[in-house]
Chains A and B, each alone.
Chain A
Amino acid sequence: MPERYPPFTDLERLESHLGDPHDERVVFSHAACVRLDAAEEFPGDICAHLDRWGVPAYYVPAECGGALRTLEHGLHLLRAIARRDLTVAIGHGKTFLGAVSAWFGGPEIQELVARWVLAGVPVSWGLTERAHGSDLLAGEVTVEETDGALRLTGEKWLINNATRGGVTAVLARVHGREGPRAFDVVYADKAGLAPGTFRTLPKERTLGIRGADISGIAYTGAPVPEGNRVGEPGTGLETVLRALQLTRTMCAGLSLGGGEHALRLAMSMLGPRAGEPEARARLLDAYADHLAAEVVATVAARCAHLAPAELSVVSAAVKYLVPLRTDALIRRLGDLLGMAAWDGGPEAVRFDKVARDHRIVDLFDGNRVVNLYAIVNQLPLLAAACARPVEWPQAAGLAALDRPCPALAPGRLRLVAARGVTVLRALPGAAERLREMAARRPELRPLAEVAAEVLARARSLCERTAALKPAPALVPVEHFEAAESFAAVFAAAAAVEVWLATHGSKPVAADDPRWAGGAWVRMVVHRLLGTPCDEPAREAMWTALTAQHREGMLLSLFPCRLAEGGMG
């Protein structure tokens, strides 16, 4: 019996609290979620059930009095909630996003926000304005300092939990100021606001997450104590841009859960047909895409702790790649199911719901284009870093998933990755190490070849990127293409390195056929970069997928028991 991959210990405890989602008697059941969705009703009881277990404590770093040891733990816990229902995960998990700005402030604001979160107060995040969308610099909500208080005026829309939330973190322009240093993040607690100084906007009816509270809030001179401002005056935009690095990484947990839900459903709906060649091939593609998402999201979460200066670009790559590929995974599974996905049976209804719900993950916290844009801005730095490889063992910590991470130090997050990203800089060393290993162990040859191919792609990307002129304000499409390639190559390199640094470690099951010769890496890289994939790798993956599905285990690289597998 392998030792648990550390974040899965919490996940299994939560699963044990929540019970088998197929059992209609449990609070957080599939049936309850479908019912609430049809009624467009907020899953209040389910959220309260999560509160009872202590999920809110995982939205607060341990250093601030919470239970969140690392972002990696938070990512996988959110995934466990999302694999049951995305409306709940988004409705409850929003508090992580709302609270996160405070961790960049001083001890007082950290303490204040931690107190709210630990008491179960939903915290929302008010960035977006109706007229300005992604263009945060154009924001018109203002904050004005008068009589020792900060006064908020203006409207934030579309805001998750704006109505039911108790507190909103508001990005606001300091009255009369212009430019990037003209903004503050201010926590507005409804309980402390004078009557008539704010109103919430009506719930918007949405394509998916129909029960969620998607609304808005309008302030008219709402007084907020000065201590509710995060950091120094004028640093709000910088706070948000750093906070987004953490939230974009966490969003991948929503996709991991959504992808898992869809894939499990497809396996069940197909029944014995799952093993037919066409179905098997498509299910395997989906499984490999899901594992690719797991690996790249996990490495990004570790990056927040081990290489925080790189997270600006790594989080953008993950937020671009993971929701996009998970939407595609779900769509292709729908194609495979054909009319069965539409027949109105209980599983078809859930499949339709997860497909609709998951579409939102790509939209918030910067959509795919906005995240590519964040990478585009850093292409010159990434190109320059190609010439500065780092030695393999030195870089292995990011990819050694059995090893603990140091505490989160939000102050070490940077707006640009001045020295490039470790995962790519370590790739030459990792590929070389694999080559040496394969010389001694022939079963590793296919894996070493894959690593060499990833390296070749990375080098060609470096050349292409170096040849690009710096992007003008109206970014040309070829820069976006380079950013897309960066994200795919980054994910492939992360897969190679995770194998190298983690195989043979305690959380890996000794008899897992995917790890022995790196079968999962071969298939994941095939899906990311279109490299060939051999049949033995597919066979090993199929064995794992069918076993995990049958035995009620999480669809993951590591063993993790779900409630439907019996918690023992």
Chain B
Amino acid sequence: MRAAGSLAAWMPGGAGPPQSVEYMRALRPLFRRDSAAGMSLLGAVVRPAVAARMAAGQEVFDEVGAHVTGGAECAYADEGVTAEARDGRIRLYGRGVPVLNGARGSLLVAVVRSAGAPWLAVADGTGTPRTRGIGCDAVDLDGVPVRVRAPLPGADPPYVVSGALIAGGAVGGVDDALRTVLRFALSRELYGTTVARLPHARGLLAGAYADLLIADALARAAVTADAPGAGAATWAATRLLTGILRDLATLLGARFYLREGPYAGFGAHWRALRALRAACGDPRRCTPGAIPPAAELAALAGHPPPLPPGVSVVSRLSHLDAEVRTPLAPDAADPLLRDLTARLESGVSLDLDPTPVDTHTPIPPDRGDDQGDMS
């Protein structure tokens, strides 16, 4: 994000709703280049800005907006912050709070749930003791005075909307990861053929592509839908996206595990996007009660992609958290792979709305579906 230019660009504009497919799509090129940068936006801008937009108080939104458009980052605390009135001011307390971007953000935006309905507090985020974490940081709040505050329409809606935006943005990171692994599979020779011609690998690649399209449909639906549907769709999208990355890691073999070399970019996406499951996929927050069955999740996808016979949205959503995801059989895999390879060659994104992407790596020719002997 920092490399990608101004933070201000990520502040949802004016009085418009933060629930916008355009906003989500705008995040994708950033994720495609650097998922870690995309994920760090969650705490620095997206979550605080969405909450500020949804809070009933223009002052809060203005404060966050001024901070971000001035080029500074926020820190966002979603749980564990309490407030008390002391010395004539409302002050924030809480120890070991997991805070998104806590170590960097200079404006603290916190959901306070200590008494009654939740509300949003904005406070000076500098000068508090912090411990750097893996995806979020610990910040000790010991009486930091609240600058401005406003009631929230419940704590979950801002959480779900910002989660959906980030999950939708992360489609861009997984798009790049799939592109990388497809290139590997097309060029890696094993047993006298290429990995891309091994039926198991083909089934995984095609499944990954189908899932990416479905995750996009779910994320689009989630950013505009009402909770709890939006929460469940976001939850399912994050499971699909992380499931795709698992399959792609299997395909990439040892190179997945290396932080340097031509495929290091894949590992960087993988590492950054692990946090998706925690950042916008908490089932307690997204889907109060049981996780909906696959058919209901599929219905949430709104405008699902056209898929070939032998694969359906419901079937792809049926075993979201299984240890292994079954590779698609050739009748379903082959048409998907043809489409996927064509998109790779023409340099367009792999989501529901193909748009040109930067590609710098030469693409090896697809040797197609013709099944040769493996000697």
Interface residues of A (CB under 8 A from B): 128, 131-135, 137-138, 158, 204-208, 278, 324-325, 327-328, 331-332, 334-335, 338-345, 348-349, 352, 355, 359-360, 362-364, 367-369, 473-478, 480-481, 484
B134 at the interface (CB under 8 A from A): yes
**For residue B200, which residues in chain A have a CB less than 8 angstroms away from its CB?**
369, 475, 477, 480
Q: Are B138 and A477 in contact, with the CB atoms below 8 A?
A: no
- What is the number of residues of chain B that contact chain A, defined by CB distance less than 8 Å? 57
**For residue A344, which residues in chain B have a CB less than 8 angstroms away from its CB?**
131-134, 136-138
**For residue B203, which residues in chain A have a CB less than 8 angstroms away from its CB?**
477
Interface residues of B (CB under 8 A from A): 78-79, 96, 98, 131-138, 188-191, 193, 197-201, 203, 249-250, 253-254, 256-261, 267, 270-271, 274-275, 277-278, 281-284, 321, 323-324, 326-330, 371-375
Query: Complex Cα distance A134/B254, Å?
Result: 10
Q: Are A205 and B193 in contact, with the CB atoms below 8 A?
A: no
Q: Are B259 and A206 in contact, with the CB atoms below 8 A?
A: yes
Q: Which residue of B lies closest to A484 (CB)?
A: B324
Q: Which residue of A lies closest to B195 (CB)?
A: A133
Q: Are B259 and A342 in contact, with the CB atoms below 8 A?
A: no
- Extra contacts besides A205-B260, A477-B203 (17): CB < 8 Å: A128-B254, A135-B191, A137-B191, A205-B259, A207-B257, A327-B323, A331-B277, A338-B282, A343-B138, A344-B134, A344-B138, A363-B257, A369-B200, A369-B201, A369-B250, A473-B191, A474-B193
Q: Are B250 and A367 in contact, with the CB atoms below 8 A?
A: yes
Q: Are A133 and B375 in contact, with the CB atoms below 8 A?
A: no
Q: Which residue of A lies closest to B282 (CB)?
A: A338
7 residue pairs of the A-B complex, CB under 8 angstroms, read: A138-B190, A342-B135, A342-B275, A342-B278, A344-B131, A344-B136, A477-B327
Query: Complex Cα distance A498/B237, Å?
Result: 41
Q: Which residue of A lies closest to B333 (CB)?
A: A477
**For residue A478, which residues in chain B have a CB less than 8 angstroms away from its CB?**
329
**For residue B190, which residues in chain A have a CB less than 8 angstroms away from its CB?**
132-135, 138
Q: Are B134 and A342 in contact, with the CB atoms below 8 A?
A: yes
CB distance from A206 to the nearest CB of B (A): 5
Chain A facing B: main interface SS: helix
**For residue A324, which residues in chain B have a CB less than 8 angstroms away from its CB?**
323-324
Contact of B326 among A137, A328, A348, A477 (CB under 8 A): A477
Q: Which residue of A lies closest to B328 (CB)?
A: A477
CB distance from B167 to the nearest CB of A (A): 15
Query: Complex Cα distance A476/B36, Å?
Result: 37
**For residue A207, which residues in chain B have a CB less than 8 angstroms away from its CB?**
256-259, 267, 270-271
- For the complex of A and B, the 7 pairs showing the least CB-CB separation, nearest first, are A344-B133, A342-B135, A473-B374, A343-B98, A339-B98, A205-B259, A328-B323
Query: Complex Cα distance A369/B323, Å?
Result: 13
CB distance from B28 to the nearest CB of A (A): 23
Contact of B323 among A325, A345, A476 (CB under 8 A): A325
Query: How many A-B contacts if CB must be within 8 Å?
Result: 139
Query: Complex Cα distance A205/B260, Å?
Result: 6
**For residue A340, which residues in chain B have a CB less than 8 angstroms away from its CB?**
98
Q: Are A480 and B278 in contact, with the CB atoms below 8 A?
A: no
Q: With A343-B96, A359-B257 in contact, is A348–B277 under 8 Å at CB?
A: no
CB distance from A475 to the nearest CB of B (A): 6
Query: Complex Cα distance A137/B190, Å?
Result: 10
Contact of A345 among B96, B275, B277, B328 (CB under 8 A): B96
CB distance from B297 to the nearest CB of A (A): 17
Q: With A205-B260, A206-B258, A481-B326 in contact, is A345–B374 under 8 Å at CB?
A: no
Q: Are A334 and B257 in contact, with the CB atoms below 8 A?
A: no
**For residue B136, which residues in chain A have a CB less than 8 angstroms away from its CB?**
339, 342-344
CB distance from A341 to the nearest CB of B (A): 6
**For residue B254, which residues in chain A have a CB less than 8 angstroms away from its CB?**
128, 133, 158, 363-364
CB distance from B30 to the nearest CB of A (A): 21
CB distance from A525 to the nearest CB of B (A): 16
Query: Complex Cα distance A355/B271, Å?
Result: 11
Q: Which residue of B lies closest to A207 (CB)?
A: B257
Q: Are A133 and B253 in contact, with the CB atoms below 8 A?
A: yes
Contact of B373 among A369, A473, A475, A480 (CB under 8 A): A473
CB distance from B355 to the nearest CB of A (A): 31
Q: Are B98 and A342 in contact, with the CB atoms below 8 A?
A: yes
Q: Are B257 and A480 in contact, with the CB atoms below 8 A?
A: no
Query: Complex Cα distance A327/B373, Å?
Result: 34
Query: Complex Cα distance A345/B250, Å?
Result: 30
**For residue A363, which residues in chain B have a CB less than 8 angstroms away from its CB?**
253-254, 256-257
Q: Are A477 and B321 in contact, with the CB atoms below 8 A?
A: no
Q: Are B132 and A474 in contact, with the CB atoms below 8 A?
A: no
Query: Complex Cα distance A169/B58, Å?
Result: 70
Query: Complex Cα distance A132/B375, Å?
Result: 14
**For residue B260, which residues in chain A have a CB less than 8 angstroms away from its CB?**
204-205
CB distance from B204 to the nearest CB of A (A): 9
Query: Complex Cα distance A256/B191, Å?
Result: 33
Q: Are B198 and A474 in contact, with the CB atoms below 8 A?
A: yes
Query: Complex Cα distance A196/B165, Å?
Result: 57
**For residue A343, which residues in chain B have a CB less than 8 angstroms away from its CB?**
96, 98, 131, 133-134, 136-138
**For residue B79, which residues in chain A have a CB less than 8 angstroms away from its CB?**
339
CB distance from B330 to the nearest CB of A (A): 8
**For residue B249, which residues in chain A have a CB less than 8 angstroms away from its CB?**
359
Query: Complex Cα distance A472/B189, Å?
Result: 18
Query: Complex Cα distance A481/B138, Å?
Result: 45
Of A207, A349, A352, A364, chain B has the most CB atoms within 10 Å of the CB of A207
Q: Are A204 and B258 in contact, with the CB atoms below 8 A?
A: yes
Q: Which residue of B lies closest to A328 (CB)?
A: B323
Query: Complex Cα distance A476/B188, Å?
Result: 19
Query: Complex Cα distance A204/B261, Å?
Result: 9
Q: Which residue of A lies closest to B277 (CB)?
A: A335
CB distance from B193 to the nearest CB of A (A): 7
Q: Are A477 and B253 in contact, with the CB atoms below 8 A?
A: no
CB distance from A218 to the nearest CB of B (A): 17
**For residue B96, which residues in chain A have a CB less than 8 angstroms away from its CB?**
343, 345
